[in-house]
Structure 1
Amino acid sequence: MKIHNVAFELEVYDALDELHDADHKLMLKAIAARKNAYAPYSNFQVGAALRLENGEVVIGNNQENACYPSGLCAERVAVFQAGAKYPGVVIEAIAISATSLNYQVNTPAAPCGNCRQSISEYEVKQKQPIQLLMMGEIGTVMKCNSIGDILPLAFTNSFLK
């Protein structure tokens, strides 16, 4: 038997103001996007903002539905919108911010499994990692270099040959 350790680097900032200018601006777009989330059932609002290599920023927010599986997370809204509006343009980074109407979210919100898989698909497609910035409503901001860091055993198109 062999044991393999999987590790990755994670930058942790104590507050939003510690981010570099471009990342700070991107997170502010995610915060603004979360304010328009449609989350009448969970009261958990998530905003996402993508920075593309052409300088465009694409936003998304979660869209709930009374039939829960029919809703869509903020990250996938943004990624799919970028793919539809700017096909072939590389996604450089995605900022994610979450809040709740029921309590204060002070820890970073990472993408769910479905969102990780969707972002992974775009990393494979563009042959370039997508940087992730994650935060709650306030407090710590986490930054990693690729969705592969938090989804190390991703299911990719290599399995479908």
Structure 2
Amino acid sequence: MNVHNFNISYQTYEHINELSVEDKLLCMRAEDALKTSYSPYSKFKVGTAIQLADGEIVLGSNQENVAYPSGLCAERVAFFAIGSSKPNAVVKAMAITAFTESFDIKNPVTSCGACLQVMAEFEQKQKSPITVIFYCLNGQIMKVEGIRSLLPFVFVEDRLAGIT
């Protein structure tokens, strides 16, 4: 038997003012994205802002449906918008935040497994890491370099897409 360990490095911040101007702007744009959330069932709004290498910022918000599996998370909304309108764009960084009137969110909300898989494929396709900022509106902020830190056993099969 062999035992293996993962070491994951991430940064934490107590307040948005501790971030760089660029990261702070990305968090504020993720907060803006909350306004377009369609979440009448869960009442849990999620917004993301993705910064492309050319400086453009693309927003996404969660979109629910009465048939729950038919909805889509904010991250995938934004990534699929990028994939369909700018298929060769390089994603530099992203910020994700959440809000609900039902309770206080005290910790950063992280991405689900399906979103992490989509994020990882973008990262693999562009051959460069994506910085992810999990921004809690009234609490701690986490910053992670690269999706592999969040999903170490990402599903990858290059032969399916002919990627070499």
TM over 0.5: yes
CA distances 1:2-23 after superposition (whole Å, capped 9, x unpaired): 1110011110000111110000
After TM superposition, where is structure 1 displaced by more than 3 Å over at least 4 residues in a row?
Answer: 158-161
1:118 equivalent in structure 2? 118
Give the aligned residue type for 1:94: M
- Inter-CA distance 102–159: structure 2 relative to 1 (3 Å threshold): farther
SS of residue paired to 2:84? helix
Query: Aligned residue for 2:30?
Result: 30
Aligned residue number for residue 93 of structure 2: 93
**Alpha-carbon RMSD:** 1.2
Conserved? CA contact 1:104–1:137, under 8 Å: no
Partner of 1:61: 61
Secondary structure of the residue aligned to 2:36 is: coil
Rounded to whole Å, the distance in 2 between the matches of 1:77 and 1:12 is: 26
Match for 2:112: what amino acid?
A: C
The structural deviation recorded for 1:109 is: 0.7
Amino acid at match of 1:79: F
Amino acid at match of 2:121: E
Offset at 1:158? 3.2
Q: Does 1:150 align with 2:150?
A: yes
Gaps of 5+ in 1: none
> When the two structures are superposed, what TM-score results if normalisation uses the length of structure 2?
0.94
TM-score (structure 1 length as normaliser): 0.96
Task: Give SS of 1:35's match.
Answer: helix
In the TM superposition, residue 150 of structure 1 has moved relative to its aligned partner by 0.8
**Who is 2:76 aligned against?**
76
Partners of 1:23 and 1:39 in 2: CA distance: 26
Structure 1 position 137 matched with structure 2 position 160: no
Mapped to 1, the partners of 2:79 and 2:130 lie a distance apart of 11
Q: Structure 2: 5+ residue runs without aligned partners?
A: none
One-letter identity of the residue aligned with 1:112? C
Shifted more, 141-150 versus 129-138: the winner is: 129-138
Deviation at 1:58, TM superposition (A): 0.2
